[in-house]
Amino acid sequence: MLPLVAVLFALLVVTASGLVGVSNAVVARAQSQIAADASALAGAADGRLAAERLAAANDAVLTAFDQQDAYAYQRRVEVKVEARGVVAVAAAERVVGG
């Protein structure tokens, strides 16, 4: 009976470790995407420096910034950020007046 309990306990520990690893990956992905979304919005509103600041405020690094000004009243920004080893991409568009 004791060997069976030991095997079941070991299985429980391995399963719990796996769940912790999966949950950490999910949290890292969410944090990276939040940083990317915030950076894209800041970049569309105020440019690259604002996007870099928002990425840093979210413990991330802005790794790419692409700004397209289609018209005087329209700006589209796409950013790529890295947080906790996870890369995320986001885009935002600002239209003023128009």
In a 3-state reduction of DSSP, which class is residue 98? coil
pLDDT of 7 higher than 80: no
Of residues 7 and 57, the one with the higher pLDDT is 57
Q: Which amino acid is at 82?
A: E
Of residues 12 and 61, the one with the higher pLDDT is 61
pTM: 0.78
H/E stretch holding 24: helix 2-46
Is 36 in contact with 92 (CB distance < 8 Å)? no
In a 3-state reduction of DSSP, which class is residue 74? strand
pLDDT of 53 higher than 70: yes
The mean per-residue pLDDT over the stretch 51-75 comes to 92
